[in-house]
């Protein structure tokens, strides 16, 4: 059976009252290789490897190199996104990985990035994203206000 991108929706038909729809990881990388943080081609390749290690589907990858230094990269995934922002002068990178569905592992992408950028230290926080169906309507209204 041939699978098209239109069929890759991460959680078709989920309708439970309070369903987890995905996992969101926030990663801070410290004491990284300045050269790698400022190498756009290297970062694009590393992002692609990280996406694949997470079991996600890369739809598009865009990046921008700032002068005199620093890069922002954004991977649009069938399952959501991966973004990275680098500060080579501080040897620091901020990463955000959100994937929907139960077939992806965004924490693997984070570990791939930490290793590739030779992070001396990192802080990884993750949490589940859940649908709001079970929330009382007055709470939903309060969130919008």
Write the DSSP string, the chain.
----GGGG-SSTT---TT-EEEEEEEEEEES--HHHHT-HHHHHHHHHHHHHHTT--EEEEEEEE-SSS-EEEEEEETTEEEEEEEEGGGTEEEEEEEEESSS--HHHHHHHHHHHTT-SEEEEEEEEEE--TTS-HHHHHHHH-
CA 28 to chain centre: 12
Interatomic CA distance for residues 111 and 12, integer angstroms: 28
Task: Establish whether 25 is a catalytic residue.
Answer: no
Instruction: Respond yes or no: is residue 100 known to be catalytic.
Output: yes
Q: In the numeric block, which tokens belong to residue 38?
A: 């400022």
Is residue 80 annotated as a catalytic residue, yes or no?
yes
Of the residues 80, 103, 133, 145, which is catalytic?
80
Which of 24, 31, 81, 85 is catalytic? The answer is 85
Catalytic residue among 25, 32, 100, 110: 100
- Residues annotated catalytic, as ranges: 80, 85, 100
């Amino acid at each position: 059976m041939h699978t098209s991108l239109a069929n890759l929706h991460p959680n078709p038909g989920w309708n439970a009252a309070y369903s987890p729809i995905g996992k969101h990881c926030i990663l801070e990388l410290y004491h990284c290789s300045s050269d790698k943080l400022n190498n756009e081609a290297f970062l694009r390749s590393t992002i692609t490897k990280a996406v694949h290690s997470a079991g996600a589907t890369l739809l598009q990858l865009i990046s921008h190199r700032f002068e005199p230094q620093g890069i922002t990269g954004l991977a649009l995934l069938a399952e959501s996104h991966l973004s990275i922002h680098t500060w080579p002068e501080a040897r620091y990178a901020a990463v955000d990985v959100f994937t929907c569905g139960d077939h992806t592992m965004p924490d693997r992408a984070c570990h791939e990035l930490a290793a590739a950028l030779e992070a001396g230290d990192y802080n990884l926080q993750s949490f589940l994203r859940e649908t709001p169906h079970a929330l009382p309507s007055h709470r939903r209204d309060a969130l919008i206000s």
